[in-house]
Amino acid sequence: MTKEFIVLGELHQDLYYESDFYDKLVEKITTKILNFIHHNPDDLNSGIVHRLITQAFSEIPKKIEAQSYIKRGGNGNNSADYISRLEIPTRLISVIGRDCGWMISELKSNGINTDYIIQQDASTPISTIIKSKFTTKIYIAPNLKQKMNFEGVNITEEAFENAKIIFTTPISSKFKELFEMGESLGLITAFTIEAQNIQSLDQLSNLIGETKDIFFLNLNDAKVILGENLSLDIIDEKLSQLAKVRVYTAGENGSYTFTDNFQIHHPSFKVKDVIDLTGAGDSYAAGFLSKIYELVNDRFHFQEYTKKERIKEFEYILKESMKFGTIISLYKITKQTTLSKTEIDEFIKQIEKSEINN
């Protein structure tokens, strides 16, 4: 029987607004400041700049028109979608609130196992996402997300049967117990780290406990969590006890993987027409772990690969994982559509052709 890939993470509603609000606001602020400088070239100071910006905000219409729609969101939801679309049997463990049966129906129609999506008698969190031509801002609701936990819910070992990997995204206290249960049952453990959930290295170390298998962390978030602008080597030195494989993403600079025996850098591919960077981290981790799922039999074999005598084999596995993670991430930020394995295969051919021509 084919083993499943377990995603443990958040599932909530995303309320999207596609608007030119920020574009108009930037134009308004720029115009006000330039006009003031033109007429009062020697009088500009911080107080006046503050007043001009405040005026610009107040002059934007009270009612702002936008195209709007509601869709499924959350790191857990997104990652489960990516993994499932790559034709890997996927199980999502999460919590939702009232009136969200439509999300479970959609997940099921995408082939995702929803048996362990728990419904709580509370409002389902909504993240409001405002997209403009040059930026995307996400307004989250932590007061609602706090209620989306597993308190009072008895999830047994059955939830982790016939699985190979458990991936928690992002790691947080409400997922700790279930994550460790998956680890105790022999699953390959992977998790993402986000600065919005982790404020210090001590908090992170207490949350992780014993060394896990793989983590993913954006370098900007690493510097926020550690509270210092450190070099990559020092960052990894401070975080090396958390996982055997540490993956750091760095946008246009590609990604870096550290183990106790070697380091790998994978550059980003050159692409045009980036639509939106939102979701790049989730998609990279999903692509990376899909290759781990494909190339590693189980946690025992993963542990074997980490030994010095298996370095060459492990390097190959991790390089392939980094390459595929990069491709899935680029597909996300350039297409902004739900991927399929066929579309990814065609996208890979396009990238490889472009790399040869360059």
Q: Are 105 and 83 in contact (CB under 8 A)?
A: no
| 86: its two tokens | 């790559």
Residues 48 and 38: their CA atoms lie apart, in Å, by 14
pLDDT tens-place string over residues 219-233? 999 999 998 889 999
End-to-end CA distance of the chain: 44
What confidence score (pLDDT) does residue 209 get?
92
Kindly give the pairing relationship between strand 163-169 and strand 126-131. unpaired
Q: What CATH fold (topology level) applies to the domain 4-13+72-357?
A: UDP-N-acetylmuramoyl-L-alanine:D-glutamate ligase (3.40.1190)
For the chain, the domains span: 4-13+72-357, 20-59
Residues 80 and 31: their CA atoms lie apart, in Å, by 45
Total Cβ atoms within 10 A of residue 7? 31
Distance of CA 263 to the CA centre of its chain: 22
Cβ-count burial of 251 within 10 angstroms (0-12 exposed, 13-18 middle, 19+ buried)? middle
Give me the sign of the Cα torsion angle 201, 207, 209, 213: negative
Q: Are 289 and 165 in contact (CB under 8 A)?
A: yes
pLDDT tens-place string over residues 270-297? 666 655 556 677 889 999 999 999 999 9
Q: Are 163 and 4 in contact (CB under 8 A)?
A: yes
Q: Are 109 and 93 in contact (CB under 8 A)?
A: no
Instruction: Please report, for residues 66, 247, 259, the alpha-carbon distance to residue 264 in angstroms, rounded to integers and kept in the order given.
Output: 44, 9, 9
Question: What is the 8-class DSSP label of residue 299?
Answer: H
pLDDT tens-place string over residues 73-108? 899 999 999 999 889 999 999 999 888 889 999 999
DSSP annotation string for 39-83: H-TT---HHHHHHHHHHHHHHS-SS---EEEEEEESHHHHHHHHH
Amino acid identity of residue 59, one-letter, is E
What confidence score (pLDDT) does residue 352 get?
66
Residues 278 and 143: their CA atoms lie apart, in Å, by 23
pLDDT tens-place string over residues 11-48? 998 888 888 888 888 888 998 889 888 888 778 788 88
Residue with tokens 């403009």: 132
Q: Residues near 94 by Cβ (< 8 Å), separated by ≥ 6?
A: 8, 9, 10, 11, 74, 76, 77, 116, 117, 118, 148
pLDDT tens-place string over residues 42-80? 787 888 888 888 988 888 888 888 888 898 989 999 999
pLDDT tens-place string over residues 101-149? 899 999 999 999 999 999 888 888 888 888 877 778 888 887 778 778 8
Residues 35 and 48: their CA atoms lie apart, in Å, by 12
Half-sphere exposure at residue 55, Cβ-oriented, CA atoms within 13 angstroms: 13
What is the length of the chain? Answer: 358
Residues 252 and 265: their CA atoms lie apart, in Å, by 12
Q: Residues near 121 by Cβ (< 8 Å), separated by ≥ 6?
A: 97, 98
Q: Residues near 134 by Cβ (< 8 Å), separated by ≥ 6?
A: 22, 23
Q: Are 225 and 204 in contact (CB under 8 A)?
A: yes
What confidence score (pLDDT) does residue 353 get?
65
Per-residue confidence band for 337, with pLDDT thresholds at 50, 70 and 90: low
146-162 CB burial, b ≥16 within 10 A, e <16: eebbbeeeeeeeebbee
Residue with tokens 């009270």: 62
Helix (H, G, I), strand (E, B) or coil at 249: strand
| 110: its two tokens | 């995408």
pLDDT tens-place string over residues 235-247? 999 999 999 999 9
Question: What is the 8-class DSSP label of residue 164?
Answer: E
Mean pLDDT of the chain: 88
